[in-house]
Amino acid sequence: MRLPRIFRTTPFRLTLLFLAMFSAAAAAFLAYAYLATAGEVNRRADAEILREMNALEALYRRGGASALNQALIERAVGERPFLYLLRDKEGEKITGSIEESPVEENEPGENWTTFQVTDTDMDGAEVKRTARGMEERLSGGELLFVGADVSQSEGFVTGIVRALWGAGALVILLGLAGGVAVSRNVSRHMAGLNDTIAAVRAGDLKARARVRGARDEYDELAGGLNEMLDRLERSMGGLRHAGDAIAHDLRSPLTRLRARMEAALIEVEAGKGDPKQALVQALDDADNVLTTFNAVLAIARLQAAGSAPDQTLFDPGQLAADMAELYEPLCEDKGLDFKAELVPRLTVKAARPILAQALANVIDNAIKYTPPGGAVMIRVRRRSSGEIEFSVTDNGPGVPLDDRNRVVQRFVRLENSRNEPGSGLGLSLVAAVAEAHGGRLELDEGPGEYDGFGPGLRVALVLPRVE
Amino acid sequence: MRILIIEDDLEAAEAMARGLGEAGYDCTHAADGAAGLTAAQKRGFDVLIVDRMMPKMNGVEVVSTLRREGDATPVLFLSALGEVADRVDGLTAGADDYLVKPYAFPELIARVEALSRRRETGAVATTLKVGDLEMNLIARTVHRGTTEIDLQPREFQLLEFMMRHAGQSVTRTMLLEKVWEYHFDPQTNVIDVHISRLRSKIDKGFDRQMLQTVRGAGYRLDP
């Protein structure tokens, strides 16, 4: 049989656990309180009984059985709170306020017992009360029993115990009710989150959990869930966009490739045209398709991985110096002034080969778009925030403010760059690399316009500080 | 030169065998990892070309088994996976070089050539000599004839690589990988610029040009 849902919730189970723990603690407390109170009450009664017994024994020793008898009669009249029974050697009652001894067997020495006495109250009804007493054989062979009514103190202890039981029951009841309430509350919040998850699972990627603004852990959870869904939606969108973009960008060179080969085939069949030329051309086209494909794949892999794999700690200045060394001759060949300003002994955590590729793309762009006579500068520094910044500044035509967000997108190539070779994926890859390291890509204006150059472009790859 | 191609894609293997055959290599083909291992264990091959993903036994297992058995035949690993981790996996298993699919044919031939000749120059040399070009690896000096040539550290490494592979075509990608240790497509002709600098240092003023450009493939240093 399945329990109702409420009993299967975690808060309810936790409540039960705490109740169990509380009950155990309360039971232990109860037992201790009972033992302490009841013990004390009995001890006090026993002490009084013992004192009375001693007093009576002293009397007996001084005046014999008759003096004792006398005293007992007096005391019974005087309404002392004790119960007495004096019996002779054979066990026959001589005098006393009770008829029979509650002590079952007369053994030598003190014989303690707890027993019930039947009494009549003021209305004449019979009441049973608890009493306690002891019997001793006197030196003359008589048996003397002294007892005391302990029902009052007994009642006191019972009262306490009952109160404790009551309180315990109340606490358990309240606890259960509280558990149910808390469970209901949690379930209600969870139901909202579960609804969202169910909606997303059913295909509605736009479903979001409600954030109530209470800033509690449910809001935190809902916020986290929403953020995750945002990211998922973005990456799904990115994937769809990438798919479209690949289709778009691969379709044209593939179409061209196919058309060229078809035309070449017709020409060769007709006995004219150069088959070798056609094949060389086809190979070129195929290589272009592959280059584009590889770039798209690299971006997709980075985005799918979330964070770059195999990150290590290394000196960013060293990497930049290596890249500078690789590209410096290219700059010189093109008549560009090349500078590197690298702060030494910094530390960055990154996947070195991937970061190298990103830097290469940025430097490559700068060299490609800066006209001869211009300048390219590569820089590595640590920002005051602790972030590590790689930047490449050129004084080429730059990118207009409105286009800066656009050039990072896949396959976006600005009008004036159509003549340059390139897939239009360079900066997209850099942005993907930055994101895969928890960093970002920043595009700014370069040094401004002067001497016919500029305004230039400053591309900065900012990576988070190393803790 | 005998080459064993272990590759499950029959068409790709056939194209590879044809191309390598044109280049003067004698090729044998095995269609899966287990068959490839059996064939390789008979020895007698100069280079093994091993595909990474194959039925029965993958490329990494084939290569690591051979290496465990003490077989040091040079291995060129082929894979459609170009990630750093995959490359490292292949090389730690004992492969000598790694080529990502799809590859250009001149690239494959150049790498196979480099691997097949590697054995002959296995001894540790302190000087390299190609024609009248002489490199002292200890003093780090280079002479052509009697003229001392002053090289930057990277130029020295570049020339050393070219000299170790004298007479063979080396591709731009090989140079980027082996000399600069980068594994990416630099898009532009960075390597060409470095080569032309090196060329201006070792060939300028001499009648015979040693550093040749091989159309469609890369470069070659001729004695």
At residue B47, what is the residue type?
V
Residue A411's pLDDT is 56
pLDDT value at B91 more than 80: yes
Give the three-class secondary structure for A69: helix
Q: Which residues in chain A have Cβ-Cβ distances shorter than 8 Å to B189?
A: 330
Residue A70's pLDDT is 83
pLDDT value at A44 more than 70: yes
Q: Which ipTM did the prediction report?
A: 0.80
Best to test chain B binding among A326, A332, A336, A423 (most B CBs inside 10 Å): A326
Q: Which of B82, B83, B190 has its CB closest to that of A330?
A: B190
Residue A363's pLDDT is 92
Residue closest to B186 by CA, chosen among B195, B198, B175 = B175
DSSP state of A283: H
Best to test chain B binding among A323, A325, A327, A330 (most B CBs inside 10 Å): A330
Residue B49's pLDDT is 93
Token pair for A135: 């019997």
Residue A119's pLDDT is 67
pTM of the model: 0.61
pLDDT value at B40 more than 70: yes
Least-confidence region, from A18-27, A289-298, B97-106: A289-298
Residue A105's pLDDT is 63
- How far apart are the C-alpha atoms of B33 and A309, rounded to whole Å? 29
Q: Regarding predicted confidence, which is higher, B32 or A1?
A: B32
Inter-CA distances, A351 with A64, A87, A383, B48, B97, Å: 111, 105, 20, 31, 22
- How far apart are the C-alpha atoms of B22 and B45, rounded to whole Å? 18
- CATH architecture designation of domain A234-305: Up-down Bundle (1.20)
Phi-psi region of A209 (alpha: psi -120 to 50; beta: other; left: phi over 0): beta
The band of A375, judged by pLDDT with boundaries at 50, 70 and 90, is very high
Over chain A, what is the mean pLDDT? 81
Q: Does B185 touch chain A (CB under 8 A)?
A: yes
Best to test chain B binding among A357, A365, A368 (most B CBs inside 10 Å): A357
Cis peptide before B153 (omega within 30 of 0): no
- How far apart are the C-alpha atoms of B80 and A68, rounded to whole Å? 117
Residue spans of the domains in chain A: they are 5-158, 234-305, 307-463
Over chain B, what is the mean pLDDT? 87
Inter-CA distances, A127 with A113, A151, B57, B118, B169, Å: 20, 11, 96, 116, 121
Which residues lie closer than 8 Å to A44 by C-beta, 6 or more apart? Answer: A153
Which residues lie closer than 8 Å to A324 by C-beta, 6 or more apart? Answer: A338, A340, A342, A378
Instruction: Report the pLDDT averaged over residues A352-373.
Output: 90
- How far apart are the C-alpha atoms of A446 and A454, rounded to whole Å? 7
Residue closest to A82 by CA, chosen among A58, A47, A110 = A47
pLDDT value at A78 more than 60: yes
Q: What angle do CA B216, B222, B223 make, to 5 degrees?
A: 175
Containing H/E element for A294?
Answer: helix A275-305
**Contact check, Cβ <8 Å, B85/A353:** no
Q: Does A338 touch chain B (CB under 8 A)?
A: no
Instruction: Report the pLDDT averaged over residues A90-97.
Output: 79
Residue A389's pLDDT is 94
Q: Does A291 touch chain B (CB under 8 A)?
A: yes
DSSP state of A416: G
Q: What percent of chain B has pLDDT over 70?
A: 94
Over the stretch A288-302, which tens digit does the pLDDT of each residue have? 788 777 777 777 778
- How far apart are the C-alpha atoms of B218 and B106, rounded to whole Å? 8
Q: Does A361 touch chain B (CB under 8 A)?
A: yes
pLDDT value at A104 more than 60: yes
**Contact check, Cβ <8 Å, A353/B180:** no
Which residues lie closer than 8 Å to B76 by C-beta, 6 or more apart? Answer: B47, B48, B49, B50, B95, B96, B97, B98, B99, B108, B111, B112, B115
Q: Which residues in chain A have Cβ-Cβ distances shorter than 8 Å to B194?
A: 326, 329
Q: Does B182 touch chain A (CB under 8 A)?
A: yes
Q: Which residues in chain B have Cβ-Cβ distances shorter than 8 Å to A327?
A: 190
Residue closest to B75 by CA, chosen among B93, B100, B49 = B49
The band of B87, judged by pLDDT with boundaries at 50, 70 and 90, is confident
Residue B3's pLDDT is 92
Q: Does B103 touch chain A (CB under 8 A)?
A: no
Q: Which of B85, B185, B188 has its CB closest to that of A330?
A: B188
Q: Which residues in chain B have Cβ-Cβ distances shorter than 8 Å to A329?
A: 190, 193-194, 197
- How far apart are the C-alpha atoms of B125 and B41, rounded to whole Å? 31
**Contact check, Cβ <8 Å, B83/A309:** yes
**Contact check, Cβ <8 Å, B84/A310:** yes
- How far apart are the C-alpha atoms of A221 and B207, rounded to whole Å? 77
Least-confidence region, from A226-230, A407-411, B131-135: A407-411
Residue closest to B165 by CA, chosen among B200, B134, B121 = B121
| A456, A446 Cβ separation under 8 angstroms | yes
Q: What percent of chain B has pLDDT over 90?
A: 29
- How far apart are the C-alpha atoms of A333 and A368, rounded to whole Å? 12
Instruction: Report the pLDDT averaged over residues A179-206.
Output: 84
Q: What are phi and psi of A80, to 5 degrees?
A: -70, 150
Over the stretch A119-164, which tens digit does the pLDDT of each residue have? 666 676 777 777 888 888 888 788 888 888 777 777 777 787 788 7
**Contact check, Cβ <8 Å, A368/B188:** yes
**Contact check, Cβ <8 Å, A360/B184:** yes
- How far apart are the C-alpha atoms of A189 and A223, rounded to whole Å? 13
Name the residue in chain A with its Cα closest to that of B80.
A294
Over the stretch B139-187, which tens digit does the pLDDT of each residue have? 999 999 889 999 998 999 999 999 988 888 899 888 998 898 888 777 6
Residue A418's pLDDT is 47
| A250, A292 Cβ separation under 8 angstroms | yes
Residue closest to A440 by CA, chosen among A405, A413, A400 = A405
**Contact check, Cβ <8 Å, A309/B194:** no
Per residue in B113-129, is it b (16+ CB within 10 Å) or e — as a string?
bbbbbbeeeeeeeeebe
**Contact check, Cβ <8 Å, A353/B183:** yes
pLDDT value at A102 more than 80: no
Q: Which residues in chain A have Cβ-Cβ distances shorter than 8 Å to B183?
A: 353
- How far apart are the C-alpha atoms of B35 and B28, rounded to whole Å? 12
Q: Regarding predicted confidence, which is higher, B135 or A423?
A: B135
Residue B161's pLDDT is 92
Residue closest to A461 by CA, chosen among A367, A375, A354 = A354
Q: Which of A301, A327, A422 has its CB closest to that of B190?
A: A327
Over the stretch B115-132, which tens digit does the pLDDT of each residue have? 887 655 556 778 888 999
Q: What are phi and psi of B86, to 5 degrees?
A: -65, -40
Strand B2-6: give its sheet, edge to edge. B26-30, B2-6, B47-51, B75-79, B97-100
| A303, A436 Cβ separation under 8 angstroms | yes
**Contact check, Cβ <8 Å, B83/A353:** no
pLDDT value at B82 more than 80: no
Residue A338's pLDDT is 92
- CATH architecture designation of domain A5-158: 2-Layer Sandwich (3.30)
Q: Which residues in chain A have Cβ-Cβ distances shorter than 8 Å to B182?
A: 326, 353, 356-357, 360
Residue B181's pLDDT is 84
Instruction: Report the pLDDT averaged over residues B3-12.
Output: 90
Over the stretch A407-435, which tens digit does the pLDDT of each residue have? 776 555 555 554 555 556 778 889 889 98
Q: Which residues in chain A have Cβ-Cβ distances shorter than 8 Å to B104?
A: 287
A-B C-beta contacts closer than 8 Å: 52
CATH class of A307-463: alpha beta
- How far apart are the C-alpha atoms of B206 and A376, rounded to whole Å? 35
Q: Which of B82, B83, B190 has its CB closest to that of A326?
A: B190
Q: What percent of chain A has pLDDT over 70?
A: 90
Give the three-class secondary structure for A174: helix
pLDDT value at A110 more than 70: no
Instruction: Report the pLDDT averaged over residues A254-278.
Output: 83
Distance (Å) from the C-alpha of residue A234 to the closest C-alpha of chain B?
25
Distance (Å) from the C-alpha of residue A290 to the closest C-alpha of chain B?
8
Q: Which residues in chain A have Cβ-Cβ distances shorter than 8 Å to B85?
A: 309-310
